[in-house]
Amino acid sequence: MQTGLTILLERSGLTPRGEPRAMSGGDMAAVYWLDTAQGAIVVKRDDPERLAGEADGLRALREAASPLIVPEVLALDGEWLAMEALESGSRSGRSAAALGEGLRALHDSVAAEHGWHRDNACGRTPQPNLPLADARAFQRERRLLPLANTCHERGLLDARLRGRIEAVAESLEAWLPDTPASLLHGDLWSGNVLNTPQGPAIIDPAVYRHYPEVDLAMLRLFGSPGEAFFEAYWNGRGLEDWPRREALFQLYPLLNHLLLFGGGYRGAVERAVVVIEQYVT
């Protein structure tokens, strides 16, 4: 067992039983399952700043008034994070509806400013969260423009497509209302949702406060949580301009995937821009 992990366990009073076992899905960090005398835990090894941001987000989600299950942070020490292990099960219409109800309750936690008290990361990408009072300004200045510029600098976006993204970012005040800032998971793709025997759980957050549709758009990016989820989430209050908002809020994670995984995501970025342009031009 690695020295850093041994020290973490000793300091937190956890007694290992056996060696850690690598878990699948650790694309951005090394993730292990470890049995201890106190119960099973999950341990993650990554950049200390990213882990500190994740631990902060997990604590914030656990403190929110939502029935969604969030693993407890057990210990954090440098490049190691230990947290409660969750048992996963199969997805059902009932679990999808519970996810919708739980996410709606999470989003009902609102504040005046968009952002977070600290920066964190979405995957390996630094995520700036310096708060802004105006929601449109936050989306433009903290999300779309920084990533578009970085992708352009690395040769992943040509000047023309970057210009179209800039035009989208500058047009937000023309159609997107300013709203209170909801508490978000921030990286809510399907792989960060677990179905446990006790109900749906969410893991690996990149927490901040912003439009609630950010989490919905991410859930739809690589699949769909299903009709039962949306019926429970909207609860009769669906948005008429949801398709436009969905495309807008998928643009940031698509730019992030372009940055992390390369040019195969350029077409998806452009398709999202086309959808938004259909509404705003």
Residues 100 and 145 in one domain: yes
pTM tops 0.85: yes
Q: Quick one: 24 exposed, middle or buried, by C-beta within 10 A (0-12, 13-18, 19+)? A: exposed
Summarize the confidence of residues 192-210 as an average pLDDT.
95
The residue out of 39, 60, 84 marking a domain boundary is 84
Residues 118 and 241 in one domain: yes
Q: Is pLDDT above 60 for 281?
A: no
The residue out of 38, 56, 84 marking a domain boundary is 84
- The single-letter DSSP state of residue 139 is I
The single residue of 56, 187, 204, 215 carrying the catalytic annotation is: 187
Summarize the confidence of residues 255-272 as an average pLDDT.
97
Integer Cα distance of 44 and 37 in angstroms = 19
Residues 54 and 105 in one domain: no
Note the pLDDT of residue 25.
62
Residues 64 and 108 in one domain: no
Residues 71 and 143 in one domain: no
Determine how many CB atoms are found less than 10 A away from the CB of residue 270.
15
| Of residues 253, 258, 112, the one with CA closest to residue 185 | 253
Please provide the average confidence, as pLDDT, over all residues in the chain. Answer: 94
Q: Is pLDDT above 90 for 75?
A: yes
Print the domain residue range for 239.
93-280
Q: State the DSSP H helix or E strand holding residue 42, giving kind and residue range, or none if neither.
A: strand 41-45
221: left (phi over 0), alpha (psi -120 to 50) or beta: alpha
Q: Quick one: 267 exposed, middle or buried, by C-beta within 10 A (0-12, 13-18, 19+)? A: exposed
Note the pLDDT of residue 26.
55
Residues 135 and 180 in one domain: yes
User: Is 204 one of the catalytic residues?
Assistant: no
